[in-house]
Amino acid sequence: MAACTSQHALISVKPPRASASFGSDRRAGNVRFVSATSCCPGSRKLGLVCASNSQSSVIEPAKLPSSPESGSTPKKSSEAALILIRHGESLWNEKNLFTGCVDVPLTPKGVNEAIEAGKRICNIPVDVIYTSSLIRAQMTAMLAMMQHRRKKVPIIVHKESERAHQWSQVYSEETKKQSIPVITAWQLNERMYGELQGLNKQETADLFGKDQVHEWRRSYDIPPPNGESLEMCAERAVSYFKEQIIPQLVSGKHVMIAAHGNSLRSIIMHLDKLTSQEVISLELSTGIPMLYIFKEGKFIRRGSPAGPSEAGVYAYTKINT
Residues 92-143 pLDDT 10s = 999 999 999 999 999 999 999 999 999 999 999 999 999 999 999 999 999 9
Residue 268 within a domain: yes
Domain that holds residue 171: 80-303
Percent of the chain with pLDDT over 70: 71
Structural domain includes residue 225:
yes
Q: State the average pLDDT over residues 278-305.
A: 90
Residue 181 located in a structural domain: yes
- The answer to whether 191 is a known ligand-binding residue is yes
85 within domain boundaries: yes
- Counting the structural domains of the chain, the total is 1
Which amino acids are annotated catalytic?
87, 190
Residue 61 domain flag: no
Q: Quick check: pTM over 0.85? A: no
For the chain, the three-class secondary structure string (H helix, E strand, C coil) is CCCCCCCCCCCCCCCCCCCCCCCCEEEECCEEEEEEECCCCCCEEEEECCCCCCCCEEECCCCCCCCCCCCCCCCCCCEEEEEEEECCCEHHHHCCECCCCCCCCECHHHHHHHHHHHHHCCCCCCCEEEECCCHHHHHHHHHHHCCCCCCCEEEECCCCCHHHHHHCCCCCHHHHHCEEEEEECHHHCCCCCHHHCCCEHHHHHHHHCHHHHHHHHHCCCCCCCCCCCHHHHHHHHHHHHHHHHHHHHHCCCCEEEEECHHHHHHHHHHHHCCCHHHHCCCCCCCCCEEEEEEECCEEEEEECCCCHHHHCCCCCCCCCC
Q: Is 99 annotated as a binding residue?
A: yes
Q: Is 261 annotated as a binding residue?
A: yes
**Average pLDDT, integer, range 225-237:** 97
The chain-wide mean pLDDT, for the chain, equals 78
User: In the prediction, which pLDDT does 119 show?
Assistant: 94
CATH number at 275 reads 3.40.50.1240
74 lies in a domain? no
**If you average pLDDT over residues 77-87, what whole number do you get?**
90
Is residue 40 in a domain? no
14 part of a folded domain: no
pLDDT surpasses 70 at 11: no
